[in-house]
Amino acid sequence: MRHLRTVAAAALALVVMAGCTGALGAPGERVSAAAEQGGISEVGRVSITSNQLWLDYSQGNQYFTATRVKNDDVQTQPDSMGEGWIPQRPVGELQLDAFTSRLAAVEDSCNEGRYGGRIMPTIGGAVVQQIGCGDWSFKSVWIDDQEVTGITEWDEATIDRVLAEVRAVHGQTSSDLVFLTPRTASVNPAYTLRFTSPQQTSATGEPCWITSSRHAESTPDRPILNYSSCTSSSGAFSDEDFDLEQVSGAKILAALASGAEKLGITLNDIGDFTVLLTDGELKVQMTVASGVSAKAPIWSEVL
């Protein structure tokens, strides 16, 4: 019986992957074949649709993009932007079997079955996979084997959940954590977390920073989690980086409650808030929600 279950499971996996195979092969196989043909051992980002794929990587002190249309030869060009994807990871470590299965699960919901997806190794060690359709509308995002789920409020459990995601993709140290709420935003109000990495080094040897974003849900033009390239400007609010072990949902909410009391408002009257290290102290800086009267529009509490 155990043998039969094993055979059945293997057969089911083949059925799932076959739907995403077609004449060009399964997505994971296409990525491996293109990398081999292009002589590329490590990549910083993979982007793929039903008939085309792109491999972003660095070699020496320069970034490149390798492109393959259908089964044509791989074409490689330098990336003149000079701001690329770090870190790089061997192609065999990109969890390509899971990528193929996840694309197969959504392709029937895509226009004419045209799937689309991205893979990004991260500085935190995790692999991020964005799964969707060929028009870059995203259905799901995965951090290793965990699917990223929605946000309906910045409660303790949700804050702790997204902090774990930050550690997985950016590592244990952060430059800031910017929590946005619908109570402050006037355009596209939603729960969003923006987080900036400590200083990194680009392939060109220049300092760079990664600012990623965690949204309440995926939209047609934006995945629920967006891991970004390493750019030449930080934009972080902190004077210094800080250890994420010092931050938790309980500590943040306690600081917000204390600030709300001093401002003469309720916790629900707090809009956006930022965790940052300034003047040698880790603080939560909060803003009052739109339309709310308070003793001050901005307030800081030591975390």
- For the segment 228-261, what is each residue's pLDDT rounded down to a tens digit? 999 988 878 888 999 999 999 999 999 999 999 9
Is residue 198 reached through a cis peptide bond, with omega within 30 degrees of 0 on the bond before it?
A: no
What is the spatial order of strands in the sheet that 75-78 belongs to? 75-78, 62-69, 52-59, 45-49, 115-121, 127-133, 138-143, 146-147
Q: For position 233, what pLDDT does the model report?
A: 83
* Contacts (Cβ under 8 Å, ≥6 apart) of 261: none
**Using alpha carbons only, what angle is made at residue 130 by residues 125 and 134, rounded to the nearest 5 degrees?**
150
Grouping H, G, I as helix, E, B as strand and the rest as coil, residue 300 is: strand
- Cα distances from 282 to residues 185, 242, 261, 262, in angstroms, run 25, 8, 20, 19
Which tens digit of pLDDT belongs to each residue from 87-127?
999 999 999 999 999 999 998 899 888 999 999 999 999 99
* Interior/surface letters 147-174, b for 16+ CB within 10 angstroms, e for the rest: ebeebeebeeebbebbbebbbbbbbebb
Contact in structure between 248 and 163 (CB atoms under 8 Å): yes
Residues 134/114, Cβ–Cβ less than 8 Å? yes
CA angle in degrees (0–180, nearest 5) for 127-145-244: 65
The most distant pair of C-alpha atoms in the chain lies apart, rounded to whole Å, by 70
DSSP three-state, residue 250: helix
Per-residue model confidence (pLDDT) at position 187: 59
pLDDT of residue 51: 93
Buried b (16+ CB within 10 A) or exposed e, 224-233: bbbbbbbbee
Give the model's pLDDT for residue 60. 86
Predicted confidence at residue 186, as pLDDT, reads 57
Q: Which residues of the chain have pLDDT under 50?
A: 1-18
User: How much is the pLDDT for 250?
Assistant: 98
